[in-house]
């Protein structure tokens, strides 16, 4: 199956997930994540502000803030450039993609980030991912030295061969029930 076909199939599967199942899966995956040493040892955690069909990152954001972590969210620029900025719910704006991003320009140095929670639509067993097609995360992760994790529903798992520029996440937490 071609990447675009896989992307569309999984996107449709995500949008049709039962809300009770999704809420339970989101809580279970968060519990698994916060029990890991990569979460416990992280001070700066980067995540994203999710669409409704994606993992509910608000759960992670609230828990991490309660645990004393600094939360960072992405800000995108032309030509596939992305930075991470400290999360401030009162300073967000909608992008042309319909995502919320920080209004400010003050980015956090990549070397300070301990853990990046990486989004994606489709994942293979080696942690390679198919996203929405912009390549922002693959470019950013190319020289990132910290930990990476994705929280993945079972409907997002598929076999595919990654492209040469794809960067795998180091850890996947899945929910399959």
Where along the chain do its domains lie? 3-175
Q: Residues with Cβ < 8 Å from 10, sequence gap 6 or more?
A: 121, 122, 130, 155, 156, 158
Q: What is the pairing mode between strands 82-86 and 70-76? A: antiparallel
Instruction: Give the pLDDT band of residue 152 (cuts 50, 70, 90).
Output: very high
| pLDDT tens sequence across 102-137 | 887 789 999 999 999 999 999 999 999 999 878 899
Report yes or no: 86 and 106 within 8 Å, Cβ to Cβ.
yes
Instruction: Give the pLDDT band of residue 165 (cuts 50, 70, 90).
Output: confident
Q: Which residue has the tokens 């994203």?
A: 48
Packing angle, helices 19-34 and 57-66, rounded to 10: 30
Interatomic CA distance for residues 153 and 168, integer angstroms = 17
Q: Residues with Cβ < 8 Å from 143, sequence gap 6 or more?
A: 110
Instruction: Give the pLDDT band of residue 39 (cuts 50, 70, 90).
Output: very high
Going by CATH, does the domain composed of 3-175 fall within 3.40.50.10420?
A: yes
pTM of the model: 0.94
Interatomic CA distance for residues 79 and 122, integer angstroms = 23
Interatomic CA distance for residues 11 and 15, integer angstroms = 6
């Amino acid at each position: 199956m071609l990447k675009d076909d896989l992307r569309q199939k999984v996107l449709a599967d995500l949008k049709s997930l039962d809300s009770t199942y999704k809420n339970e899966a989101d809580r279970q995956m968060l519990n698994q994540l916060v029990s890991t040493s990569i979460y416990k040892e992280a001070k700066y955690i980067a995540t994203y502000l999710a669409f409704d069909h994606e993992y509910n990152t608000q759960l992670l954001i609230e828990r991490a803030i309660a645990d004393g972590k600094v939360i960072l969210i992405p800000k995108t620029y032309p030509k596939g450039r992305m930075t991470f900025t400290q999360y401030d719910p009162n300073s967000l704006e909608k992008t042309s993609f319909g995502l919320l991003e920080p209004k400010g320009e003050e980015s956090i140095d990549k070397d300070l980030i301990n853990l990046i929670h990486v989004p994606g639509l489709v994942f293979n067993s080696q942690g390679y991912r198919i996203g929405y097609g912009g390549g922002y995360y693959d470019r950013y992760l190319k020289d990132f030295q910290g930990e990476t994790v994705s929280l993945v529903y079972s409907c997002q798992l598929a076999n595919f061969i990654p492209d040469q520029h794809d960067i795998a996440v180091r850890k996947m937490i899945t929910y399959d029930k």
